[in-house]
Structures are given as C-alpha cells and as structure tokens.
C-alpha cells in the first residue's frame, strides 16, 4: 500500500482525537507514580502504618495489571469510544473519592477503582489510535506522542506529586484527575469516532476468570516477595497458584471458540517478541525510578519537589528523541532503532551504578539520565507499533492490552526482584565494612542501589537481545500493519 491515502478517506478530526487520547494516556501513566511522593503526608493524616503504606500503590497496580486483558476485550466488543468514555467517567469519580478519603480503607478502595477504570481506558486508547491513523507516517507520529507520554509520564508524575504535596495537599494528587478526565470526556464525545470488532463478540468467561486470577496471583506474589522474601510461604503459594492458573488459561484459550486472548495474538513472532521485550524492559526500568528517588532523597537529602525535578532531564530526553524516533521509524524500521536504543539505555544505567554518597547529581546522575532517555525513546515508539503489527481489527484492543499487561507485570517483577537484590547487597556491605562508623549506612544503602542498577542494566541488555532475534519486520512494518489491521 502506498505511503499516502486519499484526503477524503482520512478522518479530519484525527489529530484532535490524538490530543484527547494523549490526555487520557498521560493521566494513566501519571497515576502510577504521582502518589509515591504523597505517601508520607497521607500516612500522617489517615494514620496509615508502615506495613500498610504499600497498598496506596499496590491497590492501583494490582487492579490495573490484572484487568487489562478483560478491559481490552470489552472495548473491542462494546465499542472503543463507549468504553473510553466510561473509563474516563469512572476514573474521574474514583479520583474524587480518593481525594476526600476519610480513612485508609477508603483510600485503598479508590485506588483500586482507579485501576479498574484505567484497565478500560488504556487498551481503548491505543486501539483508537490504531484505527484512527491510516497513513504510515502519521501513525508513526501518533505512536511517537503516546510513546513519549508512556516514557516520560512517570517522571512528570514525580514532579507534579511533589509540587501538589508541598504547596497544596496530598489529596490533590488524586483530585487533580477529576477535572482533567471530565474535560477529556467532553472532547472525546465530539472528536473520537466509534469502532468495534466485527464477528463473534461472545465473552470467554473461563478465560476471564483464570487470566484475572492468574495475573493477580503473579502480581501479588512478586509484591509479597519484595516485602517478605522469595522463600516466604505466602510468596511461594501465590507464585505457584499463578503458574497453575495461567497454564489452565492457555489450555482454555486453545479450546474455546472465541478466546479472551487468542493465541494468534501472542504467537506471532513480532508481536510476541514485543510483549516479551516490554516485560523485560519494564523490569529493568521501573526500579530505576524507585532506587534513584531513594538515593536523591535519603542519601543526597533532596526535598520531594527537588527530587521530582531531578528526573526532568529524563522526561525531556524522551520527548525530544520521541520526535526523532517517529521520523526514523518509517525509514529504518523498528529493530534498527530498538536494539541500539536499549544498548544505550543499558550503558546509561551502568553509568548511574558509579554513584556514591559523595558524588554529585550533575556529574554522575544527569549524564546517565540523558543517555538512558535518548535510548528509551528509540524503544517506546517502535515497540508500540510492533506490538500491534498485522493484528486483525477483531483483536486490536486485546493486543493493546497485552502490551500494557506485559509492562505492568514486568515492572512488578523488576521491583520485587531488585528490592531483594538491593537489600541483600546492603546487608552484605554493612557486615563487611563495620569500621566505617556513622558513614556506614549511607555507603551500604548506596552500594545496594548500585548493585540493583547493574542488574537493571543487564535486564535492558537482555531486552536488546530479545528484540534483535524476534523482530524481523522492516521499514514497511507500518504499511503492513495498516493493511492487515485497519481495513
């Protein structure tokens, strides 16, 4: 198919549609990080214990990660615009409830509700982009915008969370979503076109139950591992349950007439490689925000707001190089961008591993963030494209959901694994260097962070290897996606 389409076949509101979807995508990504800085204030006001504080984050990620596949299918069947609007309305209401929470239970419930509606929003958003942009170069630009938001949104969330907490109230970290979601919903009513999957639209209830329960068990198992250790009976029990449930899910998907996750979506070489690469990259990258944030605040003594701003170069690098990536993608294809990008990101992560309590942000952190962000921008944009490569209209929503699911599961895995790695390294260092006296804990903690960064670098490099061997579509990939997926 040619690189251009007749003007009369193009949606005249497509760029306005992208603006609406971008607002929703940013809101979802922000919510994964914005509450991190607000937790200390919320703990004091609502009397949340140290043991329960993680539920402010986990309630959201558990609901989001476990319901994404179902959310994608609901959007495909009921209509992506309709589910997008329901997601926005629900997200606005859940955020408002969280903003006026009078106790910790109400706060956790609101965060879980946010996750439920985010699971409707996220796959619908990507599916809307995929069916709205039919010209390859334009689709590359659209995915570039969404990729930039996905890559830089977490850092923006840290800045916004710090500013709202420091100058207003932690409650605004939730309440700010409500007017934004309502505004996006009004725009969506006017500019977003409805689309849905044709053919058999029956629901695979056994698949829904086993996939949701399996992903919940997997996510919760990794969460427990970070708190209680990998040998804890609860951790082992949940992880074993996850393996059994997900194995049963695969068996069900092979046999049912209209599966929740058609195996054709994940067994395609390029899409399957994209999901696996997304999982590994999520594992390596998510933990960087956690450990670097701790280093800046606990070791270097940064305030929450200053710590948030310290991540701004990462966001700026993603945004700048996302524009470059969207221009290069149609010319060179995805693999030529993603593999070098991940190698650069891995090198940047190794640079951060050189920090000590006596090094400065400008010499050891800033250059590494710039290198990492430029590399990751070359990954996020093509990865969004290859994850939807040649997928049928019937499966667009679930393919989009699978990309988000792999990122969430990868992030949970990475944080759990690298938390354990960092804690073990810190303890070992402290035992071997007791003579350091009052300097011991800052050096021991920083050593733990650096070991975790080295593991993160290894994961990013593994991601480069995965994508090198799995992705084999060339610069015509967007054209192929267009022909197979949209008409």
- pTM of model > 0.85: no
pLDDT score of 391: 78
pLDDT score of 6: 45
pLDDT score of 67: 81
Structure tokens at 102: 């009078």
Residues of the chain with confidence (pLDDT) below 70: 1-11, 50-54, 134, 136, 147, 150-152, 197-202, 226, 397, 412, 416, 474-487
pLDDT score of 51: 56
Q: Which of 114, 109, 111, 64 is nearest to 88 (CA)?
A: 114
Contact 122, 408 (CB under 8 A): no
Rounded alpha-carbon distances, angstroms, from residue 259 to 45, 366, 368, 399, 408: 46, 47, 44, 13, 22
Which residue ranges make up each domain of the chain? Answer: 12-203+258-485, 204-257
pLDDT score of 487: 26
pLDDT score of 163: 82
Structure tokens at 354: 């050189």
User: Could you give the 3-state DSSP secondary structure of residue 359?
Assistant: coil
Looking at domain 12-203+258-485, does it have CATH number 3.10.20.30? Answer: no
DSSP conformation letters of 294-345:
HIIIIIS---HHHHHHHTHHHHHHHHHHHHHHHHHHHHH-SHHHHHHHHHHH
Rounded alpha-carbon distances, angstroms, from residue 351 to 14, 225, 367: 41, 28, 8
Distance (Å, whole) CA 326 – CA 332: 11
Contact 128, 192 (CB under 8 A): yes
pLDDT score of 160: 80
Q: What is the 3-state secondary structure (H, E, C) of 263-283?
A: HHHHHCHHHHHHHHHHHHHHH
pLDDT score of 366: 93
Q: Where are the beta strands (DSSP E) in 49-97?
A: none
pLDDT score of 295: 86
Other CB atoms within 10 A of residue 337 CB: 24
Distance (Å, whole) CA 407 – CA 292: 20
């Amino acid at each position: 198919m040619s690189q251009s389409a007749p003007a009369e076949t193009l949606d005249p509101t497509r760029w306005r549609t992208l603006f609406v979807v971008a607002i929703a995508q940013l809101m979802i990504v922000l919510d994964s990080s914005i509450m991190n800085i607000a937790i200390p204030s919320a703990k004091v006001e609502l009397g949340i214990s140290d043991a329960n504080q993680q539920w402010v984050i986990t309630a959201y990620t558990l609901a989001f990660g476990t319901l994404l596949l179902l959310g994608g299918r609901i959007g495909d069947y009921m209509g992506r615009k309709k589910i997008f609007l329901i997601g926005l309305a629900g997200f606005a209401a859940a955020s408002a409830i969280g903003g006026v929470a009078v106790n910790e239970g109400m706060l956790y419930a609101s965060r879980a509700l946010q996750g439920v509606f985010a699971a409707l929003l996220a796959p619908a958003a990507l599916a809307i982009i995929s069916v709205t942009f039919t010209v390859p170069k334009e689709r590359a630009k659209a995915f570039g915008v969404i990729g930039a938001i996905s890559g830089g949104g977490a850092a923006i969330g840290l800045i916004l969370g710090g500013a709202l907490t420091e100058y207003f109230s932690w409650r605004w970290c939730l309440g700010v979503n409500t007017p934004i979601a309502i505004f996006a919903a009004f725009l969506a009513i006017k500019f977003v076109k409805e689309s849905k999957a044709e053919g058999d639209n029956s629901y695979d209830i056994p698949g829904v139950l086993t996939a949701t329960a399996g992903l919940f068990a997997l996510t919760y198992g990794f969460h427990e591992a970070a708190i209680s250790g990998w040998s804890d009976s609860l951790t082992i029990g949940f992880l074993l349950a996850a393996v059994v449930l997900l194995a049963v899910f695969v068996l069900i998907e092979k046999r049912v007439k209209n599966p929740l996750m058609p195996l054709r979506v994940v067994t395609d070489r390029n899409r399957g490689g994209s999901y696996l690469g997304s999982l590994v990259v999520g594992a390596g990258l998510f933990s960087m925000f956690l450990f670097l944030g701790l280093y800046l605040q606990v070791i270097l003594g940064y305030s929450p707001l200053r710590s948030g701003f310290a991540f701004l170069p990462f966001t700026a690098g993603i945004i700048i190089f996302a524009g470059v990536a969207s221009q290069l993608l149609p010319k060179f294809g995805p693999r030529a961008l993603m593999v070098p990008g991940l190698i650069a990101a891995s090198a940047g992560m190794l640079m951060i591993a050189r920090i000590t309590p006596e090094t400065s942000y400008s010499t050891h952190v800033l250059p590494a963030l710039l290198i990492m962000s430029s590399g990751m921008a070359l990954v996020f944009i093509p990865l969004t494209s290859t994850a939807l490569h040649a997928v049928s209209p019937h499966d667009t929503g679930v393919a989009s959901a699978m990309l988000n699911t792999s990122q969430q599961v990868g992030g949970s895995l990475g944080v759990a694994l690298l938390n354990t790695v960092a804690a073990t390294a810190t303890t070992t260092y402290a035992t071997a260097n007791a003579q350091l006296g009052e300097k011991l804990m800052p050096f021991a903690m920083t050593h733990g962070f650096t070991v975790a960064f080295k593991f993160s670098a290894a994961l990013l490099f593994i991601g480069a290897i995965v994508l090198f061997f799995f992705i084999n579509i060339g610069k015509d990939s967007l054209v192929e996606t267009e022909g197979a997926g949209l008409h």
